[in-house]
Amino acid sequence: MTFERDRLPDPRSYYEAQGLVLSKGKKWVTTACQFHQGSDSMRINLQSGAFVCMAGCGARGGDVLAYCMAVHGLEFIEAAKDLGAWVDDGKQPPTAPAPFTPRQALEVLMTEVNLIAVVAGNIGRGVVLSETERTRLLQAAGRVLRIAEVYA
């Protein structure tokens, strides 16, 4: 099995299929950040698929595969299969190194645990979470668990 980058979907089509509303533009466009629910803080390169949150939540990656992995909490092969870029050629895939460095893991943990703590405090004060907030909380918990699986 091999990864074939040229099978990745067109960035504009992929991001729009993810429910993102992209601003007008030819190379870089703006949209809401799905990682911290920030309005119009995510910039996306329509040529490479790269993304970066300008609000400082730390979300960034080089293509739609990196976005798929990050937003859905998938491993490389799972995301490549999901995007149709993983081709069965009869060979065994190589074992993958850790999907992120220890420093990246700590940065993600810091962000996600902070979000979980704030949400827990809000719930403790009787705030009812919206569906979007519940979804984001589950994403955060999933990322924390994924890091624990990799480094525990």
CB 65 within 8 A of CB 82: no
Alpha carbons 95 and 77: distance in angstroms, whole number? 10
Residue 93 lies in a domain: no
Q: Take residue 17 and report the two structure tokens written for it.
A: 């299929």
> Do 111 and 68 have their domain in common?
no
Give the start-end residues of each E strand in the chain: 2-3, 28-33, 38-45, 51-53, 60-61, 86-87
Rg (CA), the chain: 17
Residue 35 lies in a domain: yes
Interval 110-133: pLDDT, tens: 999 999 999 999 999 999 999 888
Interval 12-65: pLDDT, tens: 999 999 999 999 988 999 999 988 887 888 999 999 999 999 987 888 999 999
Residue 71 lies in a domain: yes
Predicted TM-score (pTM) of the model is 0.60
> Do 9 and 70 have their domain in common?
yes
pLDDT at position 101 over 90 = no
**Number of domains, the chain:** 2
Q: Would the CA dihedral through 116, 117, 119, 120 be positive or negative?
A: positive
